[in-house]
Amino acid sequence: MLAELAAFNAGFAVIKQTILHGKDITSALGSLSNMVAAEEDLRAAGNRKKKSVWSKIAGKNTDDFEEFISLHKIKEQRKELESMVRLYATFSWDDYLAFEARMRVKRKREAEEREKIIAKQKRYFGFGIASLLSALGFYLLFAFTSFLKEL
């Protein structure tokens, strides 16, 4: 959680300097990507914890408050960023939100592709294990019948 907040803060600082120096936001694409990724990771971690069986059994823990504080800090920094964009930037806040949305869509698409690859690898692994167990079963069956013939 702290790592995501630190990544967001670092990206925010770079974006802030970029805007204050009057540069185009495209010169800080990596930082914007890091900001979006950190915010999404923080929210996803919170959602995973809320849906977890262990958190339902054990109840709430202290990480919920830290998550709330982190998301609140991000919210405040986004307000500050919006103010800076409206005052100093050569682009509008709507342009920024559209760019951020494209980054989120791209990131979501990449995550879906990764999940497909992992599912494919799991399927191949399952086929391999099933084939290995089948071959082992046939071998043991052959060995058992050979043993019975010798009796």
Residue-wise pLDDT for 61-117, tens only, equals 556 778 788 888 889 988 988 888 788 777 788 988 898 888 889 989 998 999 999
User: Quick check: 41 pLDDT over 60?
Assistant: yes
- Distance (Å, rounded) from C-alpha 84 to C-alpha 86? 5
Query: For helices 2-20 and 29-51, what crossing angle results, to 10°?
Result: 150
* Alpha carbon distance 54, 106 (integer Å): 32
Name the token pair of 76: 């405040």
Query: What is the per-residue pLDDT for 40?
Result: 83
pTM exceeds 0.75 = no
Using the 8-state DSSP alphabet, how is residue 59 labeled? Answer: -
Tokens of 33: 């990507």
**Residue 112 pLDDT:** 95
90: its two tokens? 């050569």
Is residue 9 very low, low, confident or very high in pLDDT (cuts 50, 70, 90)?
A: confident
> Across all residues in the chain, what is the average pLDDT?
83
Place of tokens 């998301």: 71
Q: Which residues contact 2 (CB under 8 A, 6 or more apart)?
A: 70
